[in-house]
Amino acid sequence: MRRHATRPVIGVTTSRRSGWRIFPLVRFNVWLAGGRAVRWVAGRDADMAQVDGIIIGGGDDISPDLYGGRIVTSARLDPDRDALERRLVCEAFDQNKPILGICRGSQMMNVALGGSLHQDAYGVYTASRRYWTILPRKTVCLEPGTRLIGLTGGKPMKINALHSQAVDRLGRGMRVAARDTGGMIQAVERERDPFALGVQWHPEHLFYARRQRAIFAGLVAAAAAAHEHRSQVGAVSRAADNLAAGRAVLD
């Protein structure tokens, strides 16, 4: 595969079962942000050297074997995908390439870095209102001083929700970037290069919302910087400043 002359290449993991439905949406969001997406599934070649960044997409629950949890009988697992994505997260960090985790992908990034999950998150966070919709119904509050708030602005954000698990113990080098109104973690991020951001919701379904598009813009800016061996944190900060200037005009 050859990199496009101007667009950073982003590898996107999906499930074999439902990825054909989800990948076009993710590819569209990456294209809007200035990148080019390629689809990866378990059982096929996924070469980190051929991309500038990765998106770990949504899907089935992550096996608790990866973080010392207990099996829940209702969980649908995909061990081949678990193994692929865990490898890719580790390789991305080794090769200094940025990562965006979406829903399951946010959880996988955290687990691959030594963190753990709440398998029944709403059983732990009983004050968190449960939604199961691609529509923006849930409210999240962003943590001050985070890269996420720089990209999207500081107001509470309306998001969708399609999850039962959530981050518990943070992985190495990660911090909380957002919580819902009941205190459940809804986004995690890394402070240093490589850029890494995980969101518990599905921004690809909310492409009409500029704050959600900004998440993909941050990843693509970091991927372009990684390709050119520049600071990803600096590139994302500049992208955030440009987005903030646009927000000042639009708001």
Active site residues: 103, 202, 204
Q: Judge contact between 115 and 165, C-beta under 8 A.
A: no
Q: Judge contact between 128 and 181, C-beta under 8 A.
A: yes
- Of 138, 102, 58, which Cα lies nearest the Cα of 216? 102
| CA torsion, ordered 78, 107, 170, 156, to nearest 10 deg | -160
Give the helix ranges, DSSP H, for the chain: 19-32, 79-94, 104-112, 121-124, 147-152, 210-227, 232-250
DSSP letters along 15-31, please?
Answer: -TTTHHHHHHHHHHHHH
Q: Judge contact between 53 and 222, C-beta under 8 A.
A: yes
DSSP letters along 189-200, please?
Answer: EESSSSPEEEES
Amino acid, single-letter form, for residue 45: D
Amino acid, single-letter form, for residue 83: A
Q: How many CA atoms lie within 13 A of 240 on its CB side?
A: 19
Strand partners, 38: 11
The Cα 246–Cα 227 span in angstroms is 26
200 is written with which tokens? 């518990």
